[in-house]
């Protein structure tokens, strides 16, 4: 039988406790009071209403929830939201230019028909941006290997690799 009053303790942290987190999301300062058990994905989608980041498997296997944290890609479903304190978070909503013009990788996805249902596209683009930034675009095999953590159930992989290749070429030229 459970006692009334204070909620149970989970891993040494009372469920009544909350943590204040200050971070930057897509260039905007954000202050949140969080339950320490909340994932970054849930905070982005439910509290900040940034629903471009998708919840696929919620186990870190599909890559649909990929975002950038301090310039590195992470699966937000496995990232405790309290870890973003003092960090910069970039979601798919922060990729396009300020006037709404598509980022070259977003345009390359359109040009190469690299999306079908579109559910995995935000995570694919965030991983593609990291792939280009980290220089993993020597050849298609290297791109495929880097993007292997992102699942596309529609099978648009050929177009996705072509889009990353196109955007990487534009980045080298520009």
List, as own/partner pairs, every contact residues 145-150 make where C-beta atoms lie below 8 angstroms and the sequence separation is at least 24, other chains included: 149/63, 149/66, 149/75, 150/62, 150/63, 150/64, 150/66, 150/120, 150/123, 150/124
What CATH number is given to the structural domain containing 45? 3.10.20.30
Residue 99 lies in a domain: no
Number of structural domains found in the chain: 2
Q: Tell me: the pLDDT tens digits for 27-85?
A: 999 999 999 999 999 999 999 999 999 999 999 999 999 999 999 999 999 999 999 99
Segments forming the whole domain that contains residue 169: 104-173
Residue 58 lies in a domain: yes
Residue 52 lies in a domain: yes
């Amino acid at each position: 039988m459970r006692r009334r009053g204070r909620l149970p303790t989970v891993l040494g942290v009372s469920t009544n406790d909350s943590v204040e987190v200050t971070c930057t999301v897509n260039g905007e300062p954000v202050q949140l009071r969080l339950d320490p058990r909340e994932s970054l994905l849930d905070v982005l989608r439910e509290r900040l209403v940034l629903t471009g980041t998708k919840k696929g498997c919620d186990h870190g296997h599909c890559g649909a929830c990929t975002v950038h944290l301090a310039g590195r890609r992470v699966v937000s479903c496995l990232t405790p939201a309290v870890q973003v304190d003092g960090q910069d978070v970039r979601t798919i909503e922060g990729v396009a230019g300020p006037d709404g013009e598509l980022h070259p990788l977003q345009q390359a996805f359109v040009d190469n028909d690299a999306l079908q249902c579109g559910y995995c596209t935000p995570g694919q683009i965030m991983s593609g941006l990291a792939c280009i930034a980290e220089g993993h675009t020597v050849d298609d095999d290297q791109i495929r290997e880097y993007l292997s953590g992102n699942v596309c159930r529609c099978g648009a992989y050929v177009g996705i690799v072509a889009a990353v290749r196109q955007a990487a070429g534009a980045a080298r030229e520009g």
